[in-house]
Amino acid sequence: MALTTVAELRTALGIGSLYTDSVLQEVCDAADNVLLPFLWTNTTPVVAHANQGTVGTLYFNDYVLDTFYVGQTVNITGCGSHYNGNKTITGVGDYSITVTTDHVSNATRHPINPYGTVAADTYTDYTTIAAIQEASLMISVAIYQARQAPTGQGVSIDGFSPSPYTMSNQLLARIRGLISPYIAPNSMVG
């Protein structure tokens, strides 16, 4: 899901064909990587996994008995090649689910670092929400400008003087008002 397209970024920057699509695509992808983790999605972090034959168990810190159901198809990422992909849930516990894997050896419970993710169906398409698209474009422009002039372009609050901190926490502060209705509660730590 690209929130900002290369064409939109090219137009916003007014750079014509000066830079290749691949350079601008990297900027758009980076903006997605910054913004998407803050948006509310139907995902649950996986903290550990185990395997008994071809039955894989994924463990969560959150109570998931009422979140997932047997027969549900979920997309698993960041949990290793035997678990990743679309899987059908075969069992649900208070803090775990089981799926069929292509793992052949047994493995005791062990942590996943960084956490993996189990994603169920998502009912919101952020590419259709104007505020999210504008926030992504603003981040894309900031990233592009920081690449071109990394020693400046930011403005401090106390005197409007140039600041070298264009990629600081102020980057998200500039767009918080646009994305506030869509921020995931679990991303607002700190």
Point out the domain boundary residue: 119, 143, 160: 119
CA distance 92 to 57: 9
User: What does the pLDDT read at residue 22?
Assistant: 93
Can you give the residue range of the structural domain that contains 105?
A: 43-119
User: What does the pLDDT read at residue 83?
Assistant: 93
User: What does the pLDDT read at residue 162?
Assistant: 53
| Side-chain half-sphere exposure of 141, counting CA atoms within 13 A | 18
Percent of the chain with pLDDT over 90: 63
**Is residue 145 located within the same domain as residue 100?**
no
Confidence grade of residue 171 (pLDDT, cut at 50, 70, 90): confident
Average pLDDT rounded to a whole number, residues 82-88: 95
CA distance 153 to 150: 8
**Inside any domain, residue 1:** no
Higher-scoring residue by pLDDT: 131, 174:
131
**Is residue 11 located within the same domain as residue 49?**
no
**Is residue 147 located within the same domain as residue 180?**
yes
**Is residue 112 located within the same domain as residue 47?**
yes
Point out the domain boundary residue: 119, 142, 158: 119
**Is residue 113 located within the same domain as residue 148?**
no
**Is residue 34 located within the same domain as residue 54?**
no
**Inside any domain, residue 151:** yes
119 Cα distance to chain centroid: 11
Q: Pairing mode, if any, of strands 85-92 and 96-100?
A: antiparallel
Average pLDDT rounded to a whole number, residues 141-150: 81
Averaged pLDDT of the chain: 88
**Is residue 104 located within the same domain as residue 128?**
no
Domain count within the chain: 2
Higher-scoring residue by pLDDT: 150, 50:
50
**Is residue 103 located within the same domain as residue 147?**
no
Confidence grade of residue 91 (pLDDT, cut at 50, 70, 90): very high
Confidence grade of residue 117 (pLDDT, cut at 50, 70, 90): very high
The CATH number assigned to the domain holding 108 equals 2.40.30.20
User: What does the pLDDT read at residue 102?
Assistant: 87
* H or E element in which residue 23 lies: helix 21-35
**Inside any domain, residue 152:** yes
User: What does the pLDDT read at residue 190?
Assistant: 46
Point out the domain boundary residue: 119, 138, 168: 119
Among 71-80, 82-91, 171-180, the least confident range: 171-180
**Is residue 170 located within the same domain as residue 113?**
no
**Is residue 49 located within the same domain as residue 108?**
yes
**Is residue 52 located within the same domain as residue 94?**
yes
**Is residue 84 located within the same domain as residue 16?**
no
